[in-house]
Amino acid sequence: TTTGAAQPPLNPDDLHLVLLWHQHQPLYPKDENGVVTRPWVRLHAAKDYWDMAELVGRYPDLRISFNLTPVLLLQLEEIMDGTRDSYWVHTEVPAEQLTQEERAFLLARFFDVNPAIISRFPRYEELSNQRDEGAEFTTQDYLDLQVLFNLAWTDPDLLDGPVLRDLVAKGRDFVEADKPSVLTVHLEAVAATLDIHERLWAEGQIEVTTTPLAHPILPLISDTDLALVGDPTAIMPNERFREPIDAREQVTRGLDFAERLLGRRPAGMWPGEGAVAQQVTSIWASEGVTWVATGEDVLGQTLDTGSFERDAEGTVVDADVLYAMYEAQHARNPDLPILFRDVTISDLIGFEYSGMSGQAAAADFMDRLERANNRLEELGTGGPKVVTIIVDGENAWEYYEDDGKEFLNALYTNLSTSDLVRTVTPSELLAEFGDEAGPLPDVFPASWFQPNFATWIGEPEEATAWDALGATRRAYAAAASSESAAPEQLAAAYEALLFAEGSDWF
């Protein structure tokens, strides 16, 4: 990995690309023994988090951003401190000692892999067919399954590395001594995830952003009635949930946590699910956040123009509107720059390009940026031109050939050599052109992919959940005011409450 190359000053005539990879996992519960019930933090670290950053480091002219949520960082730290997940525990059990219950767990859970990945391992595919046919598994079958599940959730570069290469080539008839090799590589990938983001950030090649602590829908934590703006027919909780103090605490603790683990305080935030509203932009600004990002629907609703129309080739008609710079206005706090995600190009990476060759997908991406720039020139747009692409950085790659490496390498090569497109981090962009951001009126309350909050509020079961959360919040407040609990109990209860406010549970 090389240090980020020195860059010439930004040129307002260039097309600037902000590319942000969002990395997040919910806070998974633990059983009575402290074992995490789901393995996805460890497995995505082994397959995605480490190598997504490492790959950027191979292209020193790139400037890319990564969003690491505090709830993800917390669980990575716990793994490094010795916390294990149930899939790890079931891997370590010697195959000949597996109970019937443990064997049933393996058969039910150790095929939780994309079938395209299973097919890359002939023995794994054989076991999958065997399971589907209801055939009996031998001790060797279970042992091979224990190893292959973890190999399948390992980055291809690590599979081709010195530790695992021979194991992959062996392919079958594994022995108990093979298990620690895979699990050790997973632990090393977890540790490397934090290390490489910290280093590349210090070298100036990437910008790391974060999210409010528990990945909440911050506008709804501030006031559930904000849901009615975008969806007047939403079924609401019986008791209005309105805790702006909690919303502020989510922001502060999220920044504090990221700073403690990464050695540096993030400047920007990707809100949980890109959820914004005028009521909370002032919270970010007052807590030192210098920019946030969300989806284009928010911009369209804020400007009262509706959704952004595209031509037959998918190019935004009002490119001068979507690709301009904006900031939310505040009377008592600094104004807050907001970047708006291009939904079409972002979703092509997340959902469509996996069906194309990597080279063809990367070429299509560059063609779309060129057409966007041509449209901007037709419109005679002056000032900085910014296309913002924000994509989940972990879940798409299992659908790509070779974990998306052909596409990402082709894309990064194209971006590194382009005379048209300049990759920038948001903070770089704002340092140069922040004064040119246009004022936004009252920021519409909505999320990154829809002009409302309907995924998290508005149906009966969600109303029940908000009522339960509200009752818990009132119980906490009563305990705090009555001084019936010790300070350390109250602190632990409040932290648990903040995590219960996370978006994933709704």
- 8 A C-beta contact, residue 425 and residue 18: yes
DSSP secondary structure, 404-471, as one string: GHHHHHHHHHHHHH-SSEEE--HHHHHHHHGGGPEEE-S---B-SSSSS-TTTSBSHHHHHHHHHHHH
Q: Is the pTM of this model over 0.95?
A: yes
Per-residue pLDDT, 3: 54
What's 327's DSSP letter?
E
Angle at 101 between CA 99 and CA 104, to 5 degrees: 110
Residue 500 neighbours by CB under 8 Å, 6+ apart: 214, 469, 472
For the chain, residues with pLDDT lower than 70 are 1-4
Structure tokens at 234: 């939403």
Per-residue pLDDT, 1: 38
Per-residue pLDDT of 330-386, as tens digits, reads 999 999 999 999 999 999 999 999 999 999 999 999 999 999 999 999 999 777 999
Structure tokens at 473: 């919040």
Per-residue pLDDT, 484: 85
Return the closest-CA partner of residue 127 out of 105, 102, 149, 155.
149
- 8 A C-beta contact, residue 88 and residue 183: yes
Buried residues in 435-474 as b, exposed as e (16+ CB within 10 A) = eebeebeebbbbbbbbbbbbbbbbeeebbebbeebbeebe
Per-residue pLDDT, 384: 93
What's 89's DSSP letter?
H
Per-residue pLDDT, 2: 42
Per-residue pLDDT of 102-136, as tens digits, reads 999 999 999 999 999 999 999 999 999 999 999 99
In a 13 Å sphere around the CA of 200, the CA atoms on its Cβ side amount to 31
